[in-house]
Structure 1
């Protein structure tokens, strides 16, 4: 397959900087159709890889150091394989974290050079960091013949984010980036890592992301706080139901029976997760019969739960979702990702895409003085060699 212009640019930059011919990897970002904040509660999610990706060029360099170059930031970073540690912040942590995990698994990584860049909008909640982790993991696996399976690459990417980037993410982002399949969403059981593919036949519909271009500062601390609140709910219920290990094992009857004993905030968090898990399973049923109207209703219900019960939305996201309810050609809309900014995901009639983008841009600029960015996304293959 012929390289895209962007892939050619990454390859050309690599050859200019490091002379040798690299292997090339395409590692996509992801959307999540439904199932937000369920992954770290051992629940179900419904993500898909998209046609926006990180592209990496990688080659062995015969040194004891690794030379990394970000095309987007025009920055180089070097580290010695025998002596490296997390930086206070920055993109290098995602790559070093993967090398660290490979070494901890007793695998030999030799010195390498890497040039990378991407067209995944940064800060939009499309998992550019997971794509970068999975891309370098697949590339090093190929380059040094490490013999890792795809699911191993997923776990290594997640642990890299935990240890070097300091974000206690669930496993959905890396899983979708590695195991995505064109034209399908993945129902992933985040406890067992069992997964099933469901076709998403978007013949007459399109998926559009509306990027608020805001990221409120409490996002990271609130994420960790929500995890803690979910764990508190499980601990309380364990007194009565010793077999439960996570909110995955809880149903609404259990919650409602003991509601009076809960801190109200913790109760709302747990109720949202239990209901969202049920929505993911229902969404798979409606996809099997191509019932996009019902799917849209589930998306709206998901957003309402995220906004009212889980309280991870913000005025920008809420406005965008509410506005779509006035547009008869929009079937569903919800915030996607960790929250407090990022994107809404919208299910729209295909022939109304331009109209949708135009109408939402006017509303958003009038409300916040920000030009709304929109992206039509297609469901693509997972991380692969180019």
Structure 2
């Protein structure tokens, strides 16, 4: 992320003066997929790619915003009826409105922003944008009166209320709470969280982007949620205390097998096992055991591919290729049906693996995958 680039554009598009500069990261999720809406755990970390924004109050009630990457300029007021049409500007507008609802006296400002979170690769560029502005507005207009948790909720509420996306809290949480050299285990039911050391010396973390997005993602996602709810409803007949699959064991699921469709059983089996895998990975990291971490990543991929059925040919191909190249851990990252695999690779195997992934993927699918190295980094902050 390049402060100088943002600053030069800010000076050029506004009155030649400078403001304060803020940044927030995108995120990866090492393990814990489709566990959030089942009351389980996720295990994200902030990365060294994200959004940078320069912001300066302008003494009016109008926000003047320039997207450096899209070369697009928008002005909007701060009342509910002032919502801009441009989808990127709605994120900034939404954050302003959510901060105002929480008692922050947001006034007009000039801003220019840019990002290096790859769009569509599942690293959460929108959460990085929301967290940047939530943190900045709290700093500039709120005298830091809103705590970090509420800042993450501001981003989530922006998605729900202004962008039409009914997302969980993980992306914004990771963007605000990120810490260099640590991953965060977030309990999606209680919102309690704990940092775990992630400093894999001798390994690299790399995303291989299949550059494919299959269309059925949203309808399939809703169907998976319904399967999980159906399994819980069946288990509740004998175990009334059960609220989510997080409360269930495989034994409970087995004893309700007759009342659950085969498909719903498979979906629930994946989730129950995945929630346990997150806990196993946390234990392994406390011992510095990255081999076990990698093994659990492969188990997750297998579960997402065969039990939850949210993988696709391209991702399975990349996962098999990683295994054949001796990569320590690999799995599809995100909701599935396209996007990236996340790979934990020994330094000495890295070059061979990447070369192989590019060559063999292109040979099979006629296009090259994109490759992103990521380093676990800090969350939302003021830079200048």
Q: Deviations over 1:5-61 (max 9, x none)?
A: x21111111121122422111100111110011122221111111111111111212
Residue matched to 1:49:
46
Does 2:11 align with 1:15?
Answer: yes
What displacement does 1:86 show?
6.1
Q: For residue 354 of structure 1, what is the aligned residue in structure 2?
A: 351
Does structure 1 conserve the Cα–Cα contact (< 8 Å) formed by 2:177 and 2:379?
yes
Spell out the pairing of 1:1-386 with structure 2 (5 A cutoff).
6-19=2-15, 20-84=17-81, 90-146=87-143, 147-328=145-326, 330-386=327-383
The CA deviation at 1:240 is 2.6
Secondary structure of the 1:40 match is: helix
* SS across alignment from 1:167: coil
CA contact (8 A) 1:86 1:165 kept: no
DSSP 3-state at the match of 1:320? helix
Change (3 A) 1:224 1:115: farther
Q: CA deviation at 1:88?
A: 7.4
Deviations 1:208-238 (A, max 9, x none): 1101111112223322332333233323333
Contact conserved, 1:186 with 1:197, CA < 8 A, in 2?
Answer: yes
The 3 A distance-change label for structure 1 pair 350 and 84 is: farther
Structure 1 ranges of 4+ moved more than 4 A: 85-89
What is the CA–CA distance in structure 1 between the aligned matches of 2:94 and 2:234, rounded to whole Å? 35
- Is the CA contact 2:205–2:375 (under 8 Å) kept in the aligned structure 1? yes
Residues 49 and 380, structure 1, Cα contact 8 Å, conserved in 2? yes
- The structural deviation recorded for 1:249 is 1.3
Distance 1:104 1:230 in 2: 34
CA offsets 1:91-136 (integer angstroms, 9 cap, x no match): 2232222222222223322112221111111100001111111111
Counterparts of 1:286 and 1:10, CA distance in 2: 40
Cα separation, 2, equivalents of 1:301 and 1:275: 9
Instruction: Give the C-alpha shift of residue 85 in structure 1.
Output: 6.6
Structure 1 portions without partners, runs of 5+: none
Structure 2 regions of 5+ residues with no counterpart? Answer: none
User: What is the SS of the residue equivalent to 1:348?
Assistant: strand
- In structure 2, distance between residues paired with 1:288 and 1:234: 32
How many residues were matched structurally?
Answer: 381
Name the SS of the counterpart of 1:269 in structure 2.
Answer: helix
Tell me, yes or no, if the aligned pair for 1:68 and 1:113 is still in contact at 8 Å: yes
- Which moves more between the two structures, 119-128 or 101-110? 101-110
What's the TM-score once normalised by structure 2's chain length? Answer: 0.95
The alpha-carbon distance between structure 1 residues 289 and 126, as it changes in their structure 2 partners (threshold 3 A), is same
**TM-aligned CA deviation for residue 242 of structure 1:** 2.0
Query: What secondary structure is seen at the aligned counterpart in 2 of 1:338?
Result: coil
Is this contact kept in 2: 1:89–1:165, CA < 8 A? no
TM-score (norm 1): 0.94
Shift of 1:358: 0.5
Distance 1:301 1:89, change over 3 A: farther
Q: Relative to structure 2, which stretch is displaced further, 258-267 or 282-291?
A: 258-267
C-alpha distance in structure 1 between counterparts of 2:101 and 2:239, whole Å: 37
Decide which moves more: 220-229 or 250-259: 220-229
1:40/1:169 contact within 8 Å kept: no
Q: Secondary structure at the match of 2:194?
A: strand
